[in-house]
Amino acid sequence: MIIWKGAGFMVAVIAFLMMLLSELSVETVFGDEHYYQAHGWPKLLAFVIAGGLVFFWARYLNQKQAKVFIEKETGKEVIMKPEHSLFFINVGYWSYILFALGLIFFFVTE
């Protein structure tokens, strides 16, 4: 089950698309269908690119203006800002998680 808030599901979509693009391009360049599975650097590259995309995308999401409401009873301002998370982790942290996953997949191969 995938749990997300706001646009958090896009982290999974970006990571999946980068992994797919990496596999297809490596298989095309090297002409070997098993090269991607046997080597870790294509996965590292895919995760680093996905992490970079998620990093800048999260910065864009965090730059959006928050809405300010005034509470009638107390007259205090309440700031409402949309949340974006995947598996209860803020989208901004997912770029670092993707970088770490890339390093793990670089060293763990078949």
**pLDDT confidence tier of residue 109, bands split at 50, 70 and 90:** low
Exposed e or buried b per residue across 5-31, where buried means at least 16 C-beta atoms within 10 angstroms of its C-beta: eebbbbbeebbeebbeebbeebbeeee
Task: List, for residues 21-63, the tens digit of each pLDDT value.
Answer: 999 999 999 988 888 888 889 999 999 999 999 999 999 988 8
Which token pair is 41? 């650097």
> Which amino acid, one-letter code, is at 61?
L
Provide the pairing of β-strand 85-86 with 77-80: unpaired
Number of domains observed in the structure of the chain: 1
CA atoms of 40 and 38, how far apart (whole Å): 7
Instruction: Check whether 110 has a pLDDT greater than 60.
Output: no
- Would you say 37 and 105 are in contact if contact means Cβ atoms under 8 Å apart? no
DSSP summary character for residue 68: E
Give me the domain span that covers residue 77: 4-107
